[in-house]
Amino acid sequence: MLIRAFFEAAQVEGTPSPYDTIHLKIFYPGQMSGSDLEKNMGIVAADSDLAPFPVVIFFNGFNCDAQHYYWLAVKLAERGLVVVTFNWVTQSLPGMISLTPGVDLEARKPKVYRTIPTATALPAILAKLAQLQNQGILAGMLDLENIILGGHSEGGRVAMENADPGFFPGVVASFAYGAHTAGLVFLGYESAQILPLPDALPLLLMAGTCDGVIANSSDRYGINRADSTTTVVRTFQEAIAGGRNDSYLLLLEGANHFSIADILDSTTARPYLDFNPTQPQENFRLLIAEAISLFIDTHIRLESDASQKLMQFLNAVNPLINSFRCK
């Protein structure tokens, strides 16, 4: 399948210039037609036979370039999805300008959390998608009633926290890698407190057993014991009630925090905190992509045999899978 992408920009209201612009890359299944636009401008039409396209919006980790997740965007687009990645350079933490998934820490404080969205980039991205539905390559081909939020690290947390139809009616599911919902002590939370998630939509939560970034960041959540998976497992256990058999926890044996990233930039983010993976990263990426794809096929596209395939895939004897739970 031919996968193409184009670039867009969106402005975030209420953010001072020059830090108010998000740059998006939008991946889609293409179809060559031999048109002059293809020859002269490199503009390839979308494969309308696969439309309408559910949309995945992917939130990067702090200081992780969207290019790190290019491989995943292509894999998902090959399954007939439109995938949006983005870069936003702005103030993410007080006094710190960085690449950010867009999170409002004020909205994460006690007594405020869960009353308003924490995602600051998402409204602008949704507005841009509405524009693209009316004009351009994807006009009339987007399924904006089936939007999936996904992300890595802090971006994964943003995806899970904002998968709330009360906040964003078109959002129907979320997935995350290397994320949890422990409360930051400096925001006023008690040590080792796990914050709740919306718990209204299907969720796929993934993490690696060699995640050194989670382990070595434990102190900011008031956790003294460095551990790669406890906060992730507790998030699955305590942040959602489940009961619909559409929430999943998948732990990857030997994967680290950046197993989801194809290009590791040692000059930004915090790869120096990570542990070494015990198996080739490519193997983990293929597994992550397949799990996400089957999850979407099962709960969003409602393909007839997808649920069986997902359960067989996750329950199979596989040295890359440490454990799997569903509730």
Each residue of 9-47: pLDDT tens digit? 999 999 999 999 999 999 999 998 888 778 778 889 999
Amino acid at 268: T
What pLDDT score was predicted for residue 288?
Answer: 98
What percent helix, strand, coil does the chain show, rounded to 5? Answer: 30, 25, 45
pLDDT digits (tens, 9 = 90+) for 107-117: 999 999 999 99
- Model confidence at 255: pLDDT above 80: yes
Q: How far apart are CA 76 and CA 65, in angstroms?
A: 18
- pLDDT above 70 covers a percentage of the chain that reads 100
Q: What is the number of structural domains in the chain?
A: 1
- How many residues in total does the chain contain? 327
What pLDDT score was predicted for residue 298?
Answer: 97
- Judging by beta carbons within 10 Å of its beta carbon (0-12, 13-18, 19+), is residue 305 exposed, middle or buried? exposed
The residues that bridge with 27 in the sheet, in sequence order, are 5, 83
What pLDDT score was predicted for residue 102?
Answer: 96
What's the rounded mean pLDDT across residues 144-169?
98
- Model confidence at 161: pLDDT above 80: yes
- Model confidence at 225: pLDDT above 80: no
- pLDDT above 90 covers a percentage of the chain that reads 89
Q: How far apart are CA 325 and CA 232, in angstroms?
A: 12
DSSP state of 49: G
What's the rounded mean pLDDT across residues 179-193?
96
3-state secondary structure 184-233: CHHHCCCCCCECCCCCCCCEEEEEECCCHHHHHCHHHHCCCCCCCCHHHH
What pLDDT score was predicted for residue 168?
Answer: 98
In this predicted structure, which of 106-110, 136-140, 210-214, 269-273 has the lowest mean pLDDT? 269-273
What's the rounded mean pLDDT across residues 279-307?
96
Residue 177's domain spans which residues? 3-326
What pLDDT score was predicted for residue 224?
Answer: 82
Q: Provide the strand spans (E) within the chain.
A: 3-11, 21-31, 45-46, 53-59, 82-87, 89-93, 96-99, 142-152, 171-177, 203-208, 247-252, 321-326
- How would residue 95 be classed by pLDDT, with cut points 50, 70 and 90? confident
The backbone region for 296, taken as left when phi is positive above 0, alpha when psi lies in -120 to 50, beta otherwise, is alpha
Mean pLDDT of the chain: 95
Output the domain CATH number for residue 117.
3.40.50.1820
What's the rounded mean pLDDT across residues 71-85?
98
What's the rounded mean pLDDT across residues 255-280?
92
What pLDDT score was predicted for residue 38?
Answer: 82
What's the rounded mean pLDDT across residues 232-259?
97
What pLDDT score was predicted for residue 96?
Answer: 87
